[in-house]
Structure 1
Amino acid sequence: MLEIYTDGAASGDPGPSGIGIYIKNGKDHVEYSFYSGVYSNHEAEFLAVIKALEICKQAYPEEILSVRSDSKLVVDVIEKEFTKNPKFAPLLDEILRKSHTFPYFFIKWIPEKQNSKADQLARQAIQRHKEDFFTQ
């Protein structure tokens, strides 16, 4: 079973956003940090889960996934498989479609302090984007 920590961050609402993904596979781990465009913080949180599912589909297609997020909103929406928010609906649909390709998919809320690595990776993506933007 993989432990997948995801986080999204935005500098503004909406603003430049980044996603961080930290995957633990036993004693091994891998880290990902991506700039995701101009989104709200909540949208970036959903995008982080989507990207994590895409990565896992390529690298670990037969694994059991245990996703952890510090976003209660994201965890609640995915667990209930429902949202009234029209911005979140297509993101939820994509998560459900992608998650159903794995043998088992779980999502769990964790406190921010337990998600510091994914948070750091998300913020690094925003910072790299800003630095790249200003050096062009």
Structure 2
Amino acid sequence: MIEIYTDGAASGDPGLSGAGIYIIDGSNKHEYSYHLGKLSNHEAEFWAVIKALELCKQQFPNEILSFRSDSKLVVDVVEKEFTKNVKYIHLLEKILKNSKEFPHFFIKWIPEKQNKHADRLARKAIHNS
């Protein structure tokens, strides 16, 4: 099972944004930062999950994925597979489509203090843009 920690950050709302992804694969740890352009913080959180799924398709195909995010909004929307917010519908659709390519996909909410690695990587993406 692969553990994936994701976080999105934005400087402004909307503003420069970034995604941070921290992956634990047994004893191996992988770090990724992505500049996302001008987005809201919530949109950046969704994009962090999308980017992580794209990475996993390349590096960990057919693995069980256990995602962790400190965004209650993202976790709730993905778990329910539903949102009324038109800004998030296409993002949810991307997540659902990509997650179905794996035998099992889990997403769980965690407190911010347990997501420091991904947070640091998301902020790094903003400052390096």
1:114 aligns with 2:121: no
1:54 aligns with 54
Q: Deviations over 1:90-109 (max 9, x none)?
A: 00000000000000000000
Unaligned regions of 5+ residues in structure 2, if any? none
1:80 aligns with 2:80: yes
Unaligned regions of 5+ residues in structure 1, if any? 130-136
Structure 2 counterpart of 1:25, one-letter code: D
Q: Secondary structure at the match of 1:83?
A: coil
Map 1:15-30 onto structure 2 (within 5 A): 15-30=15-30
Larger Rg: 1
Q: Secondary structure at the match of 2:101?
A: coil
2:97 aligns with 97
Q: Secondary structure at the match of 2:87?
A: coil
Q: How far apart are 1:116 and its partner, in Å?
A: 0.3
Q: Report the count of equivalent residues.
A: 129
Q: Deviations over 1:107-127 (max 9, x none)?
A: 000000000000000000000
Q: How far apart are 1:27 and its partner, in Å?
A: 1.0
Taking structure 2 as the reference length, the TM-score comes to 0.99
Structure 1 counterpart of 2:3, one-letter code: E
Q: Give distance in 2, aligned partners of 1:28 and 1:99.
A: 22
Taking structure 1 as the reference length, the TM-score comes to 0.94
Q: Secondary structure at the match of 2:19?
A: strand
Q: Of Structure 1 and Structure 2, which has the larger fraction of its residues in strand? A: 2
Percent identity between the two aligned chains: 70
Q: Give distance in 1, aligned partners of 2:116 and 2:59.
A: 23
1:124 aligns with 124
Root mean square deviation, CA, Å? 0.3
Q: Deviations over 1:53-82 (max 9, x none)?
A: 000000001100000000000000000000
